[in-house]
Amino acid sequence: MFRLAHFSDIHLGPLPDITYRELASKRITGYINWHRRRRVNLDNGILDRITDDMLAAEPDHIALTGDLVNLALDKEIEMARLWLEGLGEPDAISVVPGNHDAYVPGALARVCGAWGAYMAGDGQPAPRSRRGFPYLRVRGPVALIGLSSARATAPFLASGYFTEAQARRTARLLDETGAKGLFRILMIHHPPVRGATGPHKRLFGITRFQKMVRRHGAELVLHGHTHLPTVHRVDGPTGSVPVVGVAAAGQAHGGAKPPAHYNLFEIVGAPGAWQVRLTRRGAMDGTPQIGEISTQLLVSGERAPA
C-alpha cells in the first residue's frame, strides 16, 4: 500500500510589509482583497494542526498543489521556502505552482528559483520557468507528474493555462510510466473540469487536458484552486479517471468555504485493478480538533454515471 497526502492553497500569512512600488501592479487588487476577506478567512493555526496531523499519518509522499503565497512578494516566496524546509525534505514533497505563486510577471521564475528542489524531476534540474514542466517523480508504484497551470494574469482574473507544448511533454511521460505499470498521478493547480469554478478562474486548455488523458491515460488527478472538497471524473482510455480537489489548508471556520482539511490516499492493486481509498481529515465542528471528515473508495477505470 502506498499512502499519499494531498493539500493545497496555504496562502501563508500574514502579508509582509509592502512598498508603494510593489503595489503599482495587479497586487493592489490582491492587497485590498487580503485585508477585506482573505486575512479574516485564513488561520495559520489550523494550517499548523493540519500539517502536524498529516505528518503523524506517516505518508509515503506529500503532494502540494499550489498557492503557497498571496501576492508573490519576494519576502513571501522566501517565507514559503523556509516553511517548506520545515515541513520536510524535497524528495518527500512534490509541489506545483498556483496562480497566486505567479501573481505578477516574473514571479514564477522567482518561485522556481526558491522552491525548485520541490519541483525537480528525478535526476533532473529544477525548472526555471513554466517551460520546465511537467516533471516526473517515481515513488514506489506511483508516478507523480507535476504540471504548471500558473501564469500571471490581468487584475480580477485568476485563470490558468495548459498549453499544447506541455500537453505533448506530459503525454510522453504518461506513455512511459504507463508502460511500466505505474499508478500515474497528475498534479495541477486549476481543476481541469468544466464548471468547477467561475469563468474568471477557469483553466484554459481543459479540452486539451481531457483529450490527453483520454488518449494516454492516468489513474488520478489532484488539484487545488477552488478551496472545495470535490470528486469529478474525466474520461480515460478504458473508463473514467477521478479528479480530486481539496479545501484550502489555511481556511478558518466560519467562512464561505469549508474549513481546512487534507486528503489522504491509500493506493493498492495493480494495472487494470487499482483501488484508492480517499480519507479527508481536517478541522472538526468549529474546534481545534483534527479528525476524519469522510472516506470513500475511488476506482480508477470506473465508468462515470450516465
Q: With 80 as the cut, is the pLDDT of residue 251 above it? A: yes
pLDDT, average across residues 176-182: 97
* Angle made by CA atoms 69, 19, 98, in degrees to the nearest 5: 20
Count other Cβ atoms within 10 Å, centred on residue 125.
10
| Alpha carbons 173 and 135: distance in angstroms, whole number | 9
Residues 253 and 267: beta-carbon distance below 8 Å: no
* Among the ranges given (105-109, 250-254, 277-281), the one the predictor scored with the smallest mean pLDDT: 250-254
Q: Which residue has the higher pLDDT, 54 or 158?
A: 54
Q: With 60 as the cut, is the pLDDT of residue 134 above it? A: yes
Residue type, 54: M
pLDDT grade, residue 108 (50/70/90)? Answer: very high
Please give the pLDDT value at position 12.
86
Strand ranges (E), 44-189:
61-64, 93-95, 135-139, 142-146, 160-161, 183-187
pLDDT grade, residue 304 (50/70/90)? Answer: very low
| Alpha carbons 68 and 101: distance in angstroms, whole number | 7
Residue type, 259: P
* Among the ranges given (34-38, 226-230, 289-293, 299-303), the one the predictor scored with the smallest mean pLDDT: 34-38
Q: Please list the residues that pair with 243 across neighbouring strands.
A: 221, 232
| Alpha carbons 26 and 50: distance in angstroms, whole number | 31
What residues contact residue 105 under an 8 Å CB cut-off, 6+ apart? Answer: 152
- Residue-averaged pLDDT of the chain: 88
Please give the pLDDT value at position 40.
41
Q: With 70 as the cut, is the pLDDT of residue 113 above it? A: yes
Q: With 70 as the cut, is the pLDDT of residue 239 above it? A: yes
Please give the pLDDT value at position 107.
93
Specify the DSSP class assigned to residue 121: P
Please give the pLDDT value at position 19.
53
Q: What is the pLDDT of residues 209-225, one digit of tens each?
A: 999 999 999 999 999 99
How many angstroms from the chain centroid is the CA of residue 261? 13
Q: Please list the residues that pair with 294 across neighbouring strands.
A: 280
Reduced to 3 states (helix: H, G, I; strand: E, B; else coil), residue 213 is helix
What residues contact residue 124 under an 8 Å CB cut-off, 6+ apart? Answer: 135, 136
> pTM above the 0.85 mark?
yes
Half-sphere exposure of 12 (CA within 13 A, CB side): 18
2-298 under CATH 3.60.21.10, yes or no? yes
Distances (CA, A) of 241 to 31, 34, 192, 211: 37, 35, 12, 12
Q: With 80 as the cut, is the pLDDT of residue 179 above it? A: yes
Pick the most confident of 9-18, 20-29, 100-109: 100-109
pLDDT, average across residues 269-293: 87
Nearest to 52 by CA among 77, 76, 93, 88: 88
Please give the pLDDT value at position 126.
92
Q: Please list the residues that pair with 242 across neighbouring strands.
A: 233
| Alpha carbons 103 and 117: distance in angstroms, whole number | 21
